[in-house]
Amino acid sequence: MSNKNNNYDIIFAGWGASTCILLIEMSKQFLLNDKKILILEPSEKTENDKTFCFWANKLDNIYQDYESLISHRWNKIRINNNKSSSIKPIEYFHINSSDLYDWAKKLCLEHKIEHKREKVLRVESANSLNIETSENNYSAEWVFDSRPPDLRNLKDDKFNISQSFFGLKVELSEYQLETDVYHMMDFRVPQEGATQFVYILPYSQKTALIELTRFGKKLINQDEAKNTLNDFIEKYFGPYQIIESEKGIIPMSSILPEQKSDEKIVNIGTRAGNVKPSTGYAFKNMYNHSKLICKNGQLKSRKVRVNKRFLIYDQLLLIILTIWPLKGKLIFERLFKIKSSGFILKFLDEKTSILEEMSMFLKLQIWTFIKSALFWFYWKIKKTMIPILMVFYLLVDQTRSSSDLLNLSQSNLVVIALGLLFIGIPHGALDHLIGVFPNGSNKITFKFILAYLSLMLIILLIWIYAPLIALLFFILYSAWHFGQAETQNWNIRSNFISFVWGIILLSSLFLIHFDEFRKILSILGIELVENSKIHYQLIGNSILIIPLVYALVKRHIEWLVILIFLFLSNYESLLLTFGLYFVFQHSRIGWKDLKSKLQKSNFKMFKEALPFNLGAILLYLISICVLKLNPEEGLAYFFIFLSAISFPHVLFMHVFYQKN
């Protein structure tokens, strides 16, 4: 349980390089003085478990700040077995992780910083910052979170790869190394369906770290890596003895957890995006981030500064390494042939001009990069592709808005009918699979069916005895559901915004098409008196200005496209507009969310939904026949049918979104 002794000024969740670097910078800025500070980390950090490297000029601040920790340095680079090239006045510096940890430990002793060997499970922001560990609960004014991000939840999963490595510190029996040359990339090893190379840091003429590195989806297997390194070392360096080994995994991803600049939960290290996506280098970025956080002697929640041009370059390379992994070797080898090592390090530091960069790309495998750019473009617009197609459909459609409820061309009717059959109705027929019951059961039981039918019956009875109340209730829970599904998909975590958006969405649709809406209600026994002084269509368009301004301020492209769709609906029928939106926006999002949760193919999901799908269609057709409804009446009563089957679905999906 939490108590006052568990309240701190600053808590560090994790104790890696980023925590050490930030502690050092905070000490320089006197930000550790008179503070109650806690580090939560399961390990003691006593091993020399990592190698930290960076390149810099001796005049750079990072060199001057960390000169005392530098154990080795190199001023030449070699690729494969080519002639080495000088990188002066830049040098490549090496720091042992144990030395960095020791410096941080001295600061902990000096400032009485506590270290508890507990694993952080959760960090939450309520009235105060709360940290839950495997053993206790804590609160703090500031939390610096360096825990590894959950790579399974990255949004760019398709182009999310890893840099996995396994290295041996060895002593060579005969071969003598050049101590001022570090081997940046040696591709004289099997590629194993990825981009794989050896990285060598000579510590003396006889000792070196020789590391096998892989860029790819599949991680390096330690036993296979040992065999590959053994073959490589014996072939090119002769007999050797192993001193120690190291291994690790670095995420190569261009999208990491978001960092809000107004919060005092600050992501640092890999979690903050400090690892350069295309290379895995992070030390210098972590140093620069610590400077931002401690700027002017005050703690500030600062995001990592991202150069969007270089982020695109990183993303292009990640796409190549994911789709055409064997091309990585060819690209890197050509890069070091056409450009100097100094230029390449300058490029990796993001200090080159766009003209220099274009000149470089034109000399590389340009068609590979063009194909990568096409994949990048698709990747960026894929979330908005369906909404864009919806807009395009309205632009090319020849039918126009009228008071005729069935104002649909044959092609429109086919599109809406097929959409309802394959997405619209099935997306609401999988509620038994989403695990909303306490026991987590996903089986179809009599109790489940009874509960579902009872909820539907309640809505039908309200329509029979109080149709106006049923209408208002239908609009309210539909607005909640539509808004919740879309804002969740847009990563907006606000119940207020989701509900307001749902209300605006449905209100604008019905007001813009007021004549059709009024006719539907009249068939259902709800008479709306039309006031000629009220311009319903103008009101429907005007209320869309509120989300339009918000979407523009937030630069939310998909929301903007949907708003364009709604504005264009002025020239189309209510049935076409609502049908397209319900099927290809709302139902598509719900289907996608369920697919992500259930981890099933579209075919398997459709198969699971088929009995309920057919049952719903059959029930509606029977209702039309029994009530002897004409086509317009059948369409009007479809809204009652939709409200009845959607009510239990809305409740189940609300629990689903809350849990997930």
Residue 21: CATH number of its domain: 3.50.50.60
Given pLDDT bands bounded at 50, 70 and 90, which one contains residue 521? confident
- Would you give the distance in Å from CA 97 to the centre of its chain? 30
* Confidence at residue 387, expressed as pLDDT on a 0 to 100 scale: 95
At residue 132, the 3 state secondary structure works out as strand
Q: Are 147 and 13 in contact (CB under 8 A)?
A: yes
Same domain, 129 and 246: no
Distance in angstroms (rounded) separating the CA atoms of residues 365 and 330: 9
pTM across the whole model: 0.78
Q: Which of 11-25, 98-112, 136-150, 228-242 has the lowest mean pLDDT?
A: 136-150
3-state secondary structure 8-66: EEEEEECCCHHHHHHHHHHHHCCCCCCCCEEEECCCCCCCCCCEEEEEEECCCHHHHHH
- 289 is written with which tokens? 């981030």
Q: Which of 404-408, 619-623, 651-655 has the lowest mean pLDDT?
A: 404-408
Give the structural domain span for 336. 311-375
* Confidence at residue 1, expressed as pLDDT on a 0 to 100 scale: 43
How confident is the model over 428-456, as a mean pLDDT? 74
pLDDT tens-digit map of 50-100: 889 999 999 999 999 999 999 999 999 999 999 999 999 999 999 999 999
Distance in angstroms (rounded) separating the CA atoms of residues 382 and 333: 33
Same domain, 191 and 296: no
* Confidence at residue 149, expressed as pLDDT on a 0 to 100 scale: 76
Half-sphere exposure of 557 (CA within 13 A, CB side): 9
Q: Which of 81-85, 322-326, 517-521 has the lowest mean pLDDT?
A: 517-521
Same domain, 370 and 384: no
Q: Are 607 and 432 in contact (CB under 8 A)?
A: no
Question: Is 60 exceeded by the pLDDT of residue 441?
Answer: no
The better pLDDT of the pair 351, 5 is held by 351
The reply to whether 352 falls in a domain is yes
Same domain, 424 and 570: yes
How confident is the model over 540-564, as a mean pLDDT? 94
Question: Is 80 exceeded by the pLDDT of residue 45?
Answer: no
Strand order in the sheet with 181-186: 85-86, 76-79, 181-186, 195-202, 207-216, 161-172, 240-252
Same domain, 316 and 283: no
The reply to whether 156 falls in a domain is no
pLDDT tens-digit map of 251-286: 887 776 566 555 788 999 988 888 888 888 899 999
* Confidence at residue 51, expressed as pLDDT on a 0 to 100 scale: 83
At residue 369, the 3 state secondary structure works out as helix
* Confidence at residue 158, expressed as pLDDT on a 0 to 100 scale: 66
How confident is the model over 165-171, as a mean pLDDT? 95
Partners of residue 267 on adjacent β-strands: 145
Distance in angstroms (rounded) separating the CA atoms of residues 526 and 486: 30
* Confidence at residue 469, expressed as pLDDT on a 0 to 100 scale: 94
How confident is the model over 5-13, as a mean pLDDT? 90
Q: DSSP string spanning 441-500?
A: --S--HHHHHHHHHHHHHHHHHHHH-HHHHHHHHHHHHHHHHHHHHHHHTT---HHHHHH
Same domain, 459 and 582: yes
Task: Identify residue 262 by its one-letter amino acid code.
Answer: D
Distance in angstroms (rounded) separating the CA atoms of residues 559 and 552: 9
Q: What angle do CA 234, 240, 246 make, to 5 degrees?
A: 95
Give me the number of domains the chain comprises: 4
DSSP H or E stretch at residue 166: strand 161-172
Same domain, 538 and 617: yes
Same domain, 206 and 238: yes
The reply to whether 155 falls in a domain is no
Same domain, 24 and 117: yes
Same domain, 412 and 433: yes
The reply to whether 568 falls in a domain is yes
Same domain, 176 and 248: yes
Same domain, 248 and 267: no
Of 295, 293, 296, the residue nearest 259 (C-alpha)? 293
Q: What is the sign, positive or negative, of the torsion defined by CA atoms of 624, 629, 630, 634?
A: negative
Task: State which of 375, 403, 425 marks the end of a domain.
Answer: 375
* Confidence at residue 123, expressed as pLDDT on a 0 to 100 scale: 87
Task: State which of 355, 375, 395 marks the end of a domain.
Answer: 375
How confident is the model over 546-571, as a mean pLDDT? 93
The reply to whether 29 falls in a domain is yes
Question: Is 80 exceeded by the pLDDT of residue 437?
Answer: no
Distance in angstroms (rounded) separating the CA atoms of residues 657 and 659: 5
* Confidence at residue 3, expressed as pLDDT on a 0 to 100 scale: 57
Q: Report the phi/psi class of residue 228: left, alpha or beta, with left for phi > 0 and alpha for psi in -120 to 50.
A: alpha
Per-residue b or e along 149-171, where b marks 16 or more CB atoms closer than 10 Å to that residue's CB = beeeebebeebbbbbbbbbbbbe
How confident is the model over 470-492, as a mean pLDDT? 92
Separation in Å, CA 269 to CA 16, 18, 153, 276, 600:
8, 5, 18, 11, 34
How confident is the model over 485-501, as a mean pLDDT? 91
Beta strands per DSSP E along 204-361: 207-216, 240-252, 265-267
% of the chain at pLDDT higher than 70 = 94
Say what the alpha-carbon torsion angle 496, 497, 503, 507 is, to the nearest 10 degrees: 150
Question: Is 80 exceeded by the pLDDT of residue 5?
Answer: no
Given pLDDT bands bounded at 50, 70 and 90, which one contains residue 658? confident
From first CA to last CA, the distance across the chain in angstroms is 26
Most trustworthy range by pLDDT among 220-224, 274-278, 395-399, 639-643: 220-224
DSSP H or E stretch at residue 340: none
Helix residue spans in 95-208 (DSSP H)? 97-110
Distance in angstroms (rounded) separating the CA atoms of residues 181 and 12: 37
Distance in angstroms (rounded) separating the CA atoms of residues 204 and 177: 7
The reply to whether 277 falls in a domain is yes
Distance in angstroms (rounded) separating the CA atoms of residues 252 and 216: 9
* Confidence at residue 156, expressed as pLDDT on a 0 to 100 scale: 46
- Would you give the distance in Å from CA 173 to the centre of its chain? 49
Beta strands per DSSP E along 59-159: 70-74, 76-79, 85-86, 90-96, 114-116, 120-125, 129-133, 137-145
Task: State which of 375, 401, 421 marks the end of a domain.
Answer: 375
Average pLDDT in the chain: 88
* Confidence at residue 529, expressed as pLDDT on a 0 to 100 scale: 76
The reply to whether 74 falls in a domain is yes
Given pLDDT bands bounded at 50, 70 and 90, which one contains residue 622? confident
How confident is the model over 544-565, as a mean pLDDT? 93
How confident is the model over 479-494, as a mean pLDDT? 90
Rounded to the nearest 5 percent, the helix, strand and coil shares of the chain are 55, 15, 30
